[in-house]
Structure 1
């Protein structure tokens, strides 16, 4: 799915790779990809409809990164893509998901440390 690849590429730009004007373009790209994914989700609880499926499994691993993406991009994913956040919270109700995702605080700390090392902050 194109939106997933775009989200990943844009997210890495926003977090690690670019500053200045390019950063603004990365933010727009990230938001566009998230909106594309939200449009694909529509009003369904999962990307495949009523059943938790492969695409949900592939995407839910990005959810713990949303907070750091919001911080680096300077916008609220929840405000821009509320259905995507609702989907993630639905996925988190599954024990297999909630127990396997990365810790958001650890991601925040890792990103802050790496951004300092590479001179972004």
Structure 2
């Protein structure tokens, strides 16, 4: 389609939030130009398109920008929703659609910060609090998961939001020698879902290389250890 060629994505390699957008675009079969940004040297274009937060990801479609990963995923779903563009990310029922947004936000507001605290906070007591908070949040998410995906038989908004849990968290555990979350016992449904989502044929090819993320995570743990 003509409009697809005017799609640009500003991002950085390895970001789970940028990956959400890349995966949404690929699931919809949308062609786009990827523009790599530097964390320490943000381009003028990035600041132009996201003057409020000056952060990635930013989607630019026909020179109009959309920011924040979950907002972008919804925009992609609404814009490319016909023909060969695959299954919708959100249910048609208003209440189910609202609930999908709720659970996607739950992942960003409760799950991601708690796991980050448990893994990376330099204060041991704060890390312990992070472990407790993350386990409680994942217990809630485990109960919510009923089928193959959170969206049923196809990948939806909550599944895309949850890729951080499915792909990044096991890498963090491996890098830090942690055994808080995925050990085959605590969250069997989430573990099965994680395997399904990261091995989805389109998603598998779009995820950043594990070895790069593992090296970065190990360096983070080494930095924390050196600061003690």
TM-score range, shorter chain: 0.7 to 0.9
Shift of 1:28: 1.0
Shift of the 38–120 alpha-carbon distance from structure 1 to 2, 3 Å rule, reads farther
Shift of the 86–120 alpha-carbon distance from structure 1 to 2, 3 Å rule, reads farther
Which string of whole-angstrom CA distances, capped at 9 and with x for unpartnered residues, describes residues 16-57 of structure 1? 224322211111111111111111113x11112222212112
| Uncovered stretches (5+) of structure 2, i.e. residues with no partner | 1-102
**Of 83-92 and 14-23, the range deviating more from structure 2:** 14-23
> 2:172 touches 2:214 (CA, 8 Å); kept in 1?
no
Which residue matches 1:67?
170
Q: Which structure has the bigger radius of gyration?
A: 2
Secondary structure of the equivalent of 1:47?
Answer: coil
> 1:11 touches 1:69 (CA, 8 Å); kept in 2?
no
- Counterparts in 2 of 1:34-113, with a 5 A limit? 34-42=138-146, 44-71=147-174, 72=176, 73-77=178-182, 78-113=184-219
Shift of 1:120: 5.7
Matches of 2:169 and 2:227 in 1, distance apart?
Answer: 19
Is 1:27 matched up with 2:131? yes
> 1:46 touches 1:52 (CA, 8 Å); kept in 2?
yes
**Of 78-87 and 52-61, the range deviating more from structure 2:** 52-61
Which residue matches 2:42?
none
| Alignment size in residue pairs | 120
> 2:167 touches 2:194 (CA, 8 Å); kept in 1?
no
Q: When the two structures are superposed, what TM-score results if normalisation uses the length of structure 2?
A: 0.46
Higher relative contact order (CA 8 A, sep 6+): 1
Which residue matches 2:220?
114
| Uncovered stretches (5+) of structure 1, i.e. residues with no partner | none
